[in-house]
Structures are given as C-alpha cells and as structure tokens.
C-alpha cells in the first residue's frame, strides 16, 4: 500500500455514517424529490449530524446536478458526496457539482461480479479494473488530497473474492480513501458477509476506510451491516426509513440505535449522530416521498414504543426497562404510548386516563374499563378521543328508571321509516311502534308513544347534533339532543340535554334521547314541589349535563 488516507472523517472508534437517502433512497419507485425537497432533507440530515450526505447522481439529469450543487453550496458541517460511474463524463460532472462543498466526497463505482461484467457492462475483469483505477486517480487529481474519493465495487458480495481484493488494493494505490463493499442485491447473509469484509479490512484497512452498503432483499440489510462493523468496517451506507431500490437499504435509525444500545457487542465504537433527531427526520422523509412508515417499523414506527397487552403495560408502568431496550426520548419522542385495546388491563387504562386528565378508581374505573373493552371489540383502534368521550358520557349519564331494552327500525329509499322500541320504566315494560321521516325520527316517536302514558307528558325535540369522535368508518358517533316537555299546567317548562355515544349512530341517538327523557322525568317531582301549586310558573328549568371536552 502506498496511498495515504487523506481525511477519513471519523475519529478513532467512530463509525462514519454515510447517508444515501437522497441518492439510493430516491431510487425507490415513486420517491422522486424536487431540488427544494432534497435541500430540506439535507438540512434534516445535517441536524442529525451524519458524516456524509450523498446528495445524488449529477450525471443522471440537469435537475439532479442542480440539486447536488445547491446542497453542496448551502450545507455546512457535513461532507457532500456525488455518485459517478467509472465512465467518461460522469466523474467530471460529479466533481463540478460538489467542488464548492465545504467537504467534497467523490463516489465512483463499477461492477465487479462476473454476472454484471458479462451481461451488463460487456467487459472483462481487466477492463473493469483499469476503469476503476483511472477514475479514482482522476478524482484524486481533480479534488486534491484533502477531499474524499470513494470507490464502490458494485455487486461485491457476488464477486470472486480474489478479484475483489485485487481491485480494492489497486484503487487504494490510485488514491481511494474509502473502499465500499456493497451487497447490491441483498444476497449475503451476516456470517459470510462479515468474512468477506474482514478479508478486505486485512488487505487495505490500514490505508483506507472500509465501507459497506447493504440492501434488504432478504431482510438482512441491518444485520449484514452490523456484522460488517464487527469485522472491521468503519463506514456504513444507510438511508432514513430504509428507503431505497426494491426492498430498500440498511436503515439509518436501526444501525445507529443498534450501535448505541449494544455497546458491548461493538466495543469502543459509536457514531456522532444526534439520535434525538431520528423521529423528525423519519417523518420528514416519509412526508416528502409519500412512503408511509409501517407501524411496526423498528425505532421510528408508530408502534415502536406502544404497548397494548395488559401484561406489557403493567411491566412498563412499573419499570420501562421491562419491555423497552431504549428510551423513546433517545429517538426524539416524548414518551411511550399505552395503546388501549381488548388485551389491555385496568392498570394500563387507569394510567392512560390519568395522562388524559381523569383520575378514576373503583366502580367508576370498572365501568369505563368494561365500556372500553366492548368498544375495542367493535372498532380497530381505541383512541384518546374515544376514551375522553367514554368518560364524558359516564359523567352525563342519568339513571332514573327509563332503560332501553331493545330497538328495531326499517327504512327504505323514498319511503317512511318504522321504528320499534322496548323500554322498562321501573317494573313496567313498554313497547311501541311509530313511523317517521327517517330511522331516528321513527324511533324517537316510538319512545314518545311508549312513555307518554306513564309520565303524562310528551317529549319535544328542539336540537339534534351528531358528530364523529374520531376519523374512520368505525368511528364512534356522539349525539347531543336538547328537549323540552310538552305544555302541562301542573309543571313549569323544562329544557334538558342528553348525550349518546356509540359506533352505531342510531344507537347513539337513542341513548341521547333516553337520557333526556330521564332528566325530564327526574325534574318533574322537583318542579311540582317548587311551584306555586297551580302550575302558573313560567320560568324555565334547565338541567344540563357536563359537556364533552
């Protein structure tokens, strides 16, 4: 080895993070970004404090050249890399794009596997070796000794190992400061990839940084990357959210947090990445590319720090270490999430309710817990808004004797609806049927028919409002009704409100109407006692339940 490593870009014991979200990540079908969007991602990566940002492939289009040049001009504190094939025109264009950068990093590549040489490039091993050496030497001369020149042997994991070592040695002699070993098609498994990288480290590791670039075709990109680090690689090429060609690349957040979380497996090694910025970077890339992060994605997925099982919730409440190997704060989140579902326990629900500002115990907690489990069986997700609505509905409940036992309604286009209700008022069971202009109107009229003979007055609907508590087709509907009783000389006028809550809007409406009926019935004795005796009072009495937040 005769070459010197100019500026490896990483202190002793530091793994250099080479982010290629803007180049390989953007190659994911449908993930194209505008120049302005690429600059925004570059700024997020700079906040993350990655070591190298591969800004693009300048020779691919004028637009990509402009984006790389702009990023190189405006981004500071991080090396800016540009990719180029080992063919005339590409390296010159890349050098032109990044020459202005605070730290320029030229990245040239050529395939070295026989299958690529024969079927794609149609050249011999000797020709590929000659091209690699030529363009590495060009980059060193064009950018100067302080710049980084990286060489990648495309499809290295399927290249004859002896030829790969020959190429690596030759490019380092020509001035390459970094030698990258890509698992271009995600073919390798950790043990064999580590062995291959170890051979490269033994051959050129004293004169150049050995890097790896792993794809996820077999779901092993992160595993292969970490195995390579253990074998001596000191640069890892990764993308935010694992974005990239086909099944994607090694995920930046997974690799970085594995190194941080398992220090005994990577003795003395770490990164300079500000991990508290990981979630923000993930969300930005997801938003701009339109690639939704799967909920169970490690580190940055919506469920990465969510606990729904009652057993898990109990453990996390007692000590987060029981089920969390890193803190949510370490990746930029405010805390863990207790996700409420049908497997949740009372302890988890109670803690979640306290987070929402409700302190329930005993029978009150048991009631809301039963309602929550029933709701979890009826819809996919029980959200915070659902829980607030359940607690608010409990506060608005009035139990004064009128109970809805059953209901049925038939309705058709262009015709009137027919509703049937079965009620219990104390020991008196009542059933009634009525028609109306729509299913809710028909059922409300049926309630009136059933109750009037018992209570002696008729309930009059003044206002009716229904809204979804949350989004989605299985959302709960909350209903508000405002009613008064029909004129009765023995009683002063009374106006009440009633609330209902259900995933079935008709049932929610009935609940609200029955609640209002119970309030009117409860007000009647008090009204008689407080009146003048002849029913001449005209001051309205208003009984309003606690409003939902």
Q: What whole-number distance in Å separates Cα of residue 184 and Cα of residue 215?
A: 6
Candidates 3.40.50.150, 3.30.470.20, 3.90.1150.10, 3.20.20.70; correct CATH number of 16-289?
Answer: 3.20.20.70
14 and 50 in contact (C-beta within 8 Å)? no
Report whether CATH 3.30.160.270 matches the domain 397-543.
yes
Tens of each residue's pLDDT in the chain, 549 residues: 444 333 344 566 899 999 999 999 888 877 888 888 899 999 999 999 999 999 999 999 999 999 999 999 999 999 999 999 999 999 999 999 999 999 999 999 999 999 999 999 999 999 999 999 999 999 999 998 889 999 999 999 999 999 999 999 999 999 999 999 999 999 999 999 999 999 999 999 999 999 999 999 999 999 999 999 999 999 999 999 999 999 999 999 999 999 999 999 998 899 999 999 998 899 899 888 888 888 889 898 877 766 656 667 666 667 777 767 777 788 887 666 656 666 777 777 887 777 776 778 887 787 777 777 777 776 666 766 667 667 765 554 555 578 888 999 998 877 789 999 999 887 788 899 999 989 999 999 999 999 888 887 888 898 898 877 666 666 677 788 888 877 555 555 667 777 787 878 888 899 889 888 887 877 665 433 333 334 333 333 333 333 332
List of residues 6+ apart from 61 with CB closer than 8 A: none
Q: What is the DSSP string of 53-68?
A: EEEE-GGG-HHHHHHH
Q: What whole-number distance in Å separates Cα of residue 57 and Cα of residue 68?
A: 8
241 and 251 in contact (C-beta within 8 Å)? yes
Domain residue ranges of the chain, discontinuous segments joined by +: 16-289, 306-378, 397-543
- What pTM does this model have? 0.70
- The structure tokens listed for 336 are 């863990």
- The structure tokens listed for 368 are 């809301």
352 and 338 in contact (C-beta within 8 Å)? yes
Q: Which residue has the tokens 């206002």?
A: 463
Q: What whole-number distance in Å separates Cα of residue 542 and Cα of residue 512?
A: 16
Q: Output phi, psi for 124, to 5 deg.
A: -85, 170
Q: Which helix (H) or strand (E) holds 352?
A: helix 346-355
Q: Provide the Cα torsion 179, 183, 185, 186; round to 10°.
A: -160
């Amino acid at each position: 080895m005769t070459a010197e490593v100019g500026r490896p870009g990483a202190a002793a014991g530091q793994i250099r993070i080479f982010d290629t979200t803007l180049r390989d990540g953007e190659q994911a079908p449908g993930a194209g970004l505008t120049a302005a969007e690429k600059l925004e991602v570059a700024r997020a990566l700079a906040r993350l404090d990655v070591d190298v940002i591969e800004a693009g492939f300048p020779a691919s289009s004028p637009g990509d050249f402009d984006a790389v040049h702009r990023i190189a001009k405006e981004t500071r504190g991080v090396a800016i890399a540009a990719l180029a094939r080992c063919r005339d025109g590409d390296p010159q264009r890349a050098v032109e794009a990044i020459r202005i950068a605070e730290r320029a990093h030229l990245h040239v590549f050529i395939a070295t596997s026989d299958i690529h040489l024969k079927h794609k490039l149609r050249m011999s091993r000797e020709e590929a070796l000659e091209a690699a050496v030529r363009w590495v030497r060009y980059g060193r001369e064009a950018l100067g000794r302080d710049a980084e020149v990286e060489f990648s042997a495309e499809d290295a994991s399927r290249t004859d190992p002896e030829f790969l070592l020959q190429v690596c040695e030759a490019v380092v002699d020509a001035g390459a400061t970094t030698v990258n070993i890509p698992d271009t098609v995600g073919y390798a498994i950790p043990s064999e990839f580590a062995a291959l990288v170890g051979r490269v480290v033994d051959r050129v590791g004293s004169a150049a940084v050995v890097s790896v670039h792993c794809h996820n075709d077999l779901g092993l990109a992160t595993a292969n990357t970490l195995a390579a680090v253990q074998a001596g690689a000191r640069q890892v090429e990764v993308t935010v959210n694992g974005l990239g060609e086909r099944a994607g690349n090694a995920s930046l957040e997974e690799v970085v947090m594995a190194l941080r979380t398992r220090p005994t497996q990577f003795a003395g090694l770490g990164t300079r990445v500000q991990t508290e910025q990981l979630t923000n970077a993930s969300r930005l890339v997801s938003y701009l590319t339109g690639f939704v992060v799967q909920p169970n994605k490690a580190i940055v997925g919506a469920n990465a720090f969510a606990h729904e099982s009652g057993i898990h919730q109990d453990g996390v409440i007692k000590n987060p270490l029981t089920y969390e190997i890193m803190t949510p704060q370490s990746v930029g989140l405010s805390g863990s999430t207790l996700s409420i579902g049908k497997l949740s326990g009372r302890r988890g629900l109670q803690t979640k309710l306290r987070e929402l500002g409700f302190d329930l115990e005993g029978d009150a907690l048991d009631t809301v817990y039963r309602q929550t489990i029933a709701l979890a069986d009826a819809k996919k997700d029980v959200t915070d808004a659902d829980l607030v609505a359940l607690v608010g509905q409990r506060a608005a409940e009035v139990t004064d004797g009128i109970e809805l036992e059953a209901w049925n309604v038939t309705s058709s286009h262009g015709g009137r609806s027919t509703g049937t209700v079965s009620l219990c008022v104390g020991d008196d069971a009542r059933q009634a049927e009525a028609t109306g202009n729509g299913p809710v109107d028909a059922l409300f009229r049926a309630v009136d028919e059933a109750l009037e003979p018992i209570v002696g007055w008729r309930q009059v609907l003044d206002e009716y409002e229904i809204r979804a508590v949350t989004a989605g087709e299985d959302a709960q509907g909350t209903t508000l009704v405002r009613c008064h009783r029909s004129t009765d000389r023995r009683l002063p006028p009374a106006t009440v409100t009633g609330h209902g809550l259900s995933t079935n809007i008709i049932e929610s409406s009935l609940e609200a109407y029955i609640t209002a009926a119970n309030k009117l019935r409860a007000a009647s004795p008090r009204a008689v006692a407080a009146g003048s005796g002849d029913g001449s009072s005209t001051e309205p009495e208003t009984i309003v339940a606690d409003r939902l937040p």
